[in-house]
Amino acid sequence: MIRLVDVSCRVGAFELRSINLEIEPGEYFAILGPTGAGKTKLLEIIAGLQPPSSGEVWIDDENVTALSPEHRHVGLMYQDYLLFPHLTVRKNILFGLRDKPKPEKRRRVHEVSLLLGIEHLLDRNITGLSGGEQQRIALARALAPQPRVLLLDEPLSALDPQNRRAVRRELTALHTQLGTTTIHVTHDFEEALIVADRLAVMNEGEIVQIGPPEEVVRKPQSAFVANFFGTENLFKGEILRCSHAEYSGADTYNAIFKTGAIELAVIAEREDQAYAAIRPEDIVVSREMNQSSAMNNLSGSIVEMEETGPLVRLTADVGVSLVALLTRQSVMSLKLDIGAQAYFSVKAAAIHIF
């Protein structure tokens, strides 16, 4: 378990601002954010390599804020692995087992090298090993002393796409097998979505959202998060609440969201300035004014069509620019083309307000 209480840290122009985070025992937690968000700095604070200016770091119900890294029992793997180039693979793995009795040293080296499939490399030198091999060794080295927490700094970014997928699967499998509480730092949101039980999104030294991946993607709480996850239809506007909930067929709404020239019926618990996000796959496209139960019907002309695999990504001008995803089949049956007029409908409940 890791708990950060109001951790702040100033180094030069860079600043981490009051980070609060609680990671459950055995959880695979991702920290996601653009370069320079402070992710690596946060890992170094947990590892004890960077003292925070204020706040507390707890590991397994122990306040480790004042503890130096060698006493924290935390495994850290940097993006570029940083194996000790003057030592053999075996000695790299033995590095963290210095104080252990000999039989245990031998047993641990055997166990982790078996686990990571690197027994055949044990007596090799570091120079000349492939990136994938180096990464396994770095993982073995970090895991050998059985750390309470495993910190992975961009573990996949130095690999080519093919290896990346394989190693990603392996990391998940390894975690399932060992159950070590893991923090995985990345700037790649797909990677975070796939590996993590929960994730935190960081920006400019702050945690902007924490939650399970699906929740963070579906309900971003800020424009930054929405943009970071590539939310296509993101509108800034104003909410006007209705006095009471209104019904229209199967759709319910209680507020109107105004952005630019358009108004949308939405469900919202607040007023004033807000963002609305509509997932492209939640938009229903038709050629005639809709008989559907959706409340929001917008009309406009198609300005762009782009084939992305089996789906077609369609951009329309309905007063604002709106992106919808359709199957190729529906594009054909609807006889959609650039310049064509069409209707776009979306349920009030499918519009995420934040």
Q: Interface with another protein by CB under 8 A: which residues?
A: 44, 47-49, 68-76, 78, 82, 84-86, 95-96, 98-99, 127-128, 141-142, 145, 147
> In terms of CB distance, is 104 or 306 closer to another protein?
104
> In terms of CB distance, is 99 or 272 closer to another protein?
99
- For residue 148, the minimal CB distance to another protein (Å) is 11
Distance CA 299, CA 321 (A): 11
> In terms of CB distance, is 93 or 266 closer to another protein?
93
- Side-chain half-sphere of 128: how many Cα atoms within 13 Å? 8
> In terms of CB distance, is 94 or 174 closer to another protein?
94
- For residue 233, the minimal CB distance to another protein (Å) is 42
Q: How far is CA 110 from CA 29, 99, 118, 120, in A?
A: 28, 17, 10, 11
- For residue 13, the minimal CB distance to another protein (Å) is 14
> In terms of CB distance, is 141 or 187 closer to another protein?
141
> In terms of CB distance, is 127 or 273 closer to another protein?
127
Distance CA 144, CA 136 (A): 12
The phi and psi torsions of 53 (rounded to 5 degrees) equal -75, -30
Distance CA 37, CA 203 (A): 5
Query: Token pair 């990464």 is at which residue?
Result: 135
- For residue 70, the minimal CB distance to another protein (Å) is 5
Structure tokens, 127: 């120079």
- For residue 225, the minimal CB distance to another protein (Å) is 30
- For residue 203, the minimal CB distance to another protein (Å) is 24
Query: Token pair 């707890």 is at which residue?
Result: 58
- For residue 265, the minimal CB distance to another protein (Å) is 54
Distance CA 240, CA 256 (A): 5
Pairing type for strands 74-77 and 272-278 reads unpaired
> In terms of CB distance, is 145 or 213 closer to another protein?
145
Distance CA 153, CA 236 (A): 34
* Cβ–Cβ < 8 Å for 216, 74: no
> In terms of CB distance, is 78 or 354 closer to another protein?
78
Q: How far is CA 286 from CA 130, 280, 326, 340, 342, in A?
A: 53, 14, 11, 11, 6
- For residue 73, the minimal CB distance to another protein (Å) is 8
Closest among 57, 170, 150, 46 to 96, alpha carbons compared: 150
